[in-house]
Amino acid sequence: MNRKGNMIMETIIDLVIAALIIVAFFSVNFKLEDNTLFDQKRTARELALTIDTLTSAPRPVELMVTEEKGQSVKINKEQCLVNVRSTEKELIPTSFDCGNNNFLIEEERKEGERTKFTFKT
Question: If DSSP codes are grouped into helix, strand and coil, which group holds residue 54?
Answer: helix
Q: Which is nearer to another protein, 49 or 72 (CB)?
A: 49
Query: Rule CB under 8 A: which residues touch another protein?
Result: 14, 17, 20-21, 24-25, 28, 31-32, 37-38, 41-42, 45, 49, 52-53, 55-56, 58, 79, 81, 97-102
Smallest distance from another protein to CB 90, Å: 16
Amino acid at 97: D
Of the pair 102, 118, the CB lying nearest another protein is at 102
| CA geometry: angle 113, 55, 36, nearest 5 deg | 45
Nearest Cα to Cα of residue 102 among 118, 115, 119: 119
Smallest gap, in angstroms, from Cβ of residue 4 to another protein?
16
| Cα 118 from chain centre | 25
